[in-house]
Chains A and B, each alone.
Chain A
Amino acid sequence: DVKVTQSSRYLVKRTGEKVFLECVQDMDHENMFWYRQDPGLGLRLIYFSYDVKMKEKGDIPEGYSVSREKKERFSLILESASTNQTSMYLCAISPSPDAAYEQYFGPGTRLTVT
């Protein structure tokens, strides 16, 4: 079974804090993704990575950065958290550059910024 773990299920942070969300996979897949999910908006891609130290912006990268130092680990960083970043954050992986393959998702981190 594919296993994608996220560092926290629930997180509460204060405005202006630096926040780290971590995603770890056990499948040796190249591609890793960070999405945020908001009611009525579905999934929106923040960043993705197709290799170690490689990253590409998605649809809504503003206010976020990422780090991929090891193949199995992809971190999402909120440099200075704001209330409009309160959301569900989902990490996903896929096995190949061919997008015909499905994605495997972690359980999500529900972040609240107060």
Chain B
Amino acid sequence: GDSVTQMEGPVTLSEEAFLTINCTYTATGYPSLFWYVQYPGEGLQLLLKATKADDKGSNKGFEATYRKETTSFHLEKGSVQVSDSAVYFCARSGGSYIPTFGRGTSLIVHP
């Protein structure tokens, strides 16, 4: 079945460091790809998405490019802030109504 694999955390960085969180997905069909963010004590919210190969999603300084050849959708940010500390989930659209989520990667940013 469909699956999404993302790097295990926690990822610990200093403020202003470069961030990459890796995400790969199974290549069945033509999925849309998503990154969600969950701040402490809250539900998930959409961070960015891409609907076809080579699309780049971007929001709040975060970017991810839909790479069909490597089945990847890695999340990047050039300079993280303490306020970016959260759990990040990669997801792909699936059959019927159901998306598939990765297990989440915790990001901790120190001042």
A residues bordering B, Cβ < 8 Å? 4, 31, 40-43, 45, 48, 50, 58, 90, 92, 94, 97-108
Contact present for B97 and A31 (CB under 8 Å): yes
Residues of B1-57 whose CB lies within 8 A of A:
31-32, 34, 36, 41-46, 49, 51
B28 to chain A, nearest CB (A): 13
A51 to chain B, nearest CB (A): 11
Complex CA gap A31/B93 in Å reads 14
Complex CA gap A43/B32 in Å reads 18
Provided the pairs A42-B89, A100-B32, A102-B49 are in contact, do residues A108 and B42 lie with their beta carbons within 8 angstroms? yes
Count A-B contacts at CB 8 Å.
58
Interface residues on B, range: 20 to 34
Contact present for A94 and B103 (CB under 8 Å): no
Contact present for B97 and A99 (CB under 8 Å): yes
Give 18 pairs: A residue, B residue, CB < 8 Å, sorted on A.
Answer: A31-B97, A42-B89, A42-B103, A45-B98, A48-B98, A90-B43, A99-B94, A99-B95, A99-B98, A100-B31, A100-B93, A104-B45, A104-B46, A105-B36, A105-B43, A105-B45, A106-B43, A107-B41
Residues from chain B with a CB closer than 8 A to the CB of A106 are 43
Complex CA gap A20/B32 in Å reads 33
Task: Check: B66 CB closer than 8 A to any chain A CB.
Answer: no
